Chains A and B, each alone.
Chain A
């Protein structure tokens, strides 16, 4: 894919919607197209987080190694979403395993390339951080909601007269 084509298709990803041309070109220089086959891992817990992914199709499930409980699947991420921010935060290691439930097409963004651009171009850096914060906030809210176990019964209320 030519850089121009890559910029165009990146532009279509919701994470980068309404990003201006110049910043998008900066990002393109760190991006590449990747494909993961169904049943493969995108990354593993503990590995260095050197990339993040903008998913274009297919779904990825995040797994925690649960010891005697096996692999615990905690969340799925799909087309239009962002996968991974460990590259941004020390110690830059993945916290989960990421498993492709289907064939996954994604843009991989090279973290060291991106970090150096962010540091030299504060405007670009701020824009990236702002977009990531939004993703983080929404992911946190969803996680809290998941924690509530809303479909379970309130503790201590079973056995009442219903």
Chain B
């Protein structure tokens, strides 16, 4: 760890203030309607101190633990995606003028966001979406504009959930890169503080600006221990060896039929996934037909309309839609963007109404893969 800082609770408050003064819209975790949400925060008082979440397949439960930990929860349902890549974005409006029409592109008025409390898996998700939206000549300028002005404070995970498998995906629980500042929250008897490390010049200057002092060896040791324990607490495993090839070669595996019997094709997994990026557009007019507009919204490969064309529909069965999602995420994504589309956050497992677990599906496909059969191992 280079030049670690020791950040007190008051120090964190000053960090938030400082970000606000610099003009950032500070977004962080807070309690709302029974869940943790990422939303605008004004001070550390907004942070969900003492909340603990229990995440299992198909279940999310938030409870008050009574301790003081600000970042004692694991993961909220929604990721940071909704700020960088909003679920609904107006693209342009048009006004009819006789037989012609005038077109006004929607100005990008998104604020500069400072995120507080980004998990390691979520940092990976953001870096994956960076790739998706800046792929060669095909770039989403609105996304990139928000990202260019983005400030990120990561918080190392101290309590992975039962649904987490970041260690399999190589994305956590320790934040590796992609942050301006990373914090590790330490509660040791009466003392409650953060060990902080800057990941960028902006991060360093902010930490110095608020007068954060240096962390000593025991602070750093406590942080390391927290991360080590978290890492050991990740129990779920995704077998990623040859995963892209496995799925590409097993498009007719009977497991797809099996999972299709359980899958409701509701699309929850795609909505909570921090990397899913599919979108559609909606066109509308006023009643007089003079003013029209177009909005881009998140879409899901689970909808019936997703692969519909004028002559028919390429993916009618639920089986083909589940297969598209999983195969894209874990296999074709690698060919498209050079990385897996999965960061192991486990949200799709938690928020699946029937608790479908992609690591189990992959395991089942692996056990009965056609490759293995042809190799005579069965």
- Do A and B come into direct contact in the complex, CB within 8 Å? yes
Q: Please list the residues of chain A having a beta carbon within 8 angstroms of any beta carbon in chain B.
A: 153-154, 157, 160, 162
> Would you call B1 an interface residue if the criterion is a C-beta within 8 Å of the partner chain's C-beta atoms?
no
Residues of B within 8 A of A157 (CB): 308, 310-313
Q: Does B309 contact A (CB under 8 A)?
A: yes
- State A154–B313 Cα separation when bound (angstroms): 9
Q: Is the CB of A153 within 8 A of B308?
A: no
A-B complex: 4 closest residue pairs judged by Cβ atoms: A154-B312, A162-B310, A157-B312, A153-B311
- B257 smallest CB distance to A (angstroms): 24
Q: Which of B307-323 contact A (CB under 8 A)?
A: 308-313
Rounded to whole angstroms, the CA-CA distance of A154 and B312 in the bound complex is 5
7 additional A-B pairs beyond A154-B311, A154-B312, A157-B310, beta carbons within 8 Å, are A153-B311, A154-B313, A157-B308, A157-B311, A157-B312, A160-B308, A162-B310
What is the CB-to-nearest-CB distance from A158 to chain B, in angstroms, rounded to a whole number?
Answer: 8
Question: 15 A-B Cβ contacts within 8 A?
Answer: A153-B310, A153-B311, A153-B312, A154-B311, A154-B312, A154-B313, A157-B308, A157-B310, A157-B311, A157-B312, A157-B313, A160-B308, A160-B310, A162-B309, A162-B310
Chain A residues near B310: list those with CB within 8 A: 153, 157, 160, 162
CB-CB nearest in chain B for A150:
B311
A154 to B314 CA separation, bound complex (whole angstroms)? 11
CB distance from A58 to the nearest CB of B (A): 36
A162–B309 Cα distance when bound, in Å, is 8
A46 CB to nearest chain B CB (Å): 40
- How many chain B residues touch A (CB < 8 A): the figure is 6
Compute the total of residue contacts between A and B using a CB distance below 8 Å. 15
Q: Collect the chain B residues with CB atoms within 8 Å of residue A154's CB.
A: 311-313
Q: A60–B91 Cα gap in the complex (Å)?
A: 58
Q: Taking chain A's interface residues, is the majority helix, strand, or loop, or is none over half, making it mixed?
A: loop
Closest chain-A Cβ to B34's Cβ sits at a distance in Å of 37
- A residues near B309, Cβ cutoff 8 Å: 162
A162 to B313 CA separation, bound complex (whole angstroms): 13
User: Closest approach, in angstroms, between the C-beta of A145 and any C-beta of chain B?
Assistant: 16
**Closest chain B residue to A152 by CB distance?**
B311
Question: How long is the Cα–Cα vector from A39 to B308 in the complex, in angstroms?
Answer: 47
CB distance from B302 to the nearest CB of A (A): 18
Query: For window 2-54 of chain B, which residues contact chain A by CB distance below 8 Å?
Result: none
Which residues of chain B (159-175) have a CB below 8 Å from chain A? none
Minimal Cβ-Cβ distance residue in A for B312: A154
| Chain A residues positioned under 8 Å from B313 (CB to CB) | 154, 157
B residues 298-343 in Cβ contact with A at 8 Å: 308-313
**Nearest neighbor of A151 in chain B, beta-carbon distance:** B311
In the complex, A155→B310 CA distance in Å? 11
| Whole-angstrom CA separation of A99 from B311 in the bound complex | 35
CA–CA, A154 and B310, complex, Å: 8
In the complex the two chains form, what is the Cα distance from A116 to B308 in whole Å? 57
B308: A residues at CB distance < 8 A: 157, 160
Q: Give the docked Cα–Cα distance between A80 and B312 (Å).
A: 37
Closest to A154 in B: B312
**A33 to B309, alpha carbons, bound, how many Å?**
52
Bound-state CA distance A157–B313 (Å) is: 8
In the assembled complex, the Cα of A162 lies from the Cα of B308 at a distance in Å of 10
In the complex, chain B residues whose CB is within 8 Å of the CB of A160: 308, 310
The distance in angstroms between the C-alpha atoms of A157 and B311, with both chains bound, is 7
- List B contacts of A162 (CB < 8 A): 309-310
Q: Which residues of A contact B312 (CB under 8 A)?
A: 153-154, 157
How far apart sit A68 and B267, CA to CA, in the bound complex (Å)? Answer: 52
Chain A residues contacting B311 (CB-CB under 8 Å) are: 153-154, 157
- Candidate in B308, B309, B311, B312 with the most chain A CB atoms within 10 angstroms: B311
Cα A87 to Cα B311 in complex, Å, equals 41
Q: Shortest beta-carbon distance, B304 to chain A, in Å?
A: 11
Q: Within the assembled complex, what's the spacing in Å between the Cα atoms of A65 and B371?
A: 54
* Complex CA–CA separation, A69 to B311 (angstroms): 28
Residues of B within 8 A of A153 (CB): 310-312
Kindly identify, within residues 268 to 317 of chain B, every residue whose CB is under 8 Å from any CB belonging to chain A.
308-313
Nearest CB of chain B from residue A99's CB, rounded to whole Å: 33
CA distance A153 to B308 in the complex (A): 12
Instruction: Give the residue name and chain of the A residue nearest to B283 (CB).
Output: A161
* B308 to chain A: closest residue by CB: A160
Q: How far is the CA of A160 from the CA of B311 in the complex (A)?
A: 10
B311: shortest Cβ distance to chain A, in Å? 6
In the complex formed, the residue of A with least CB distance to B310 is A162
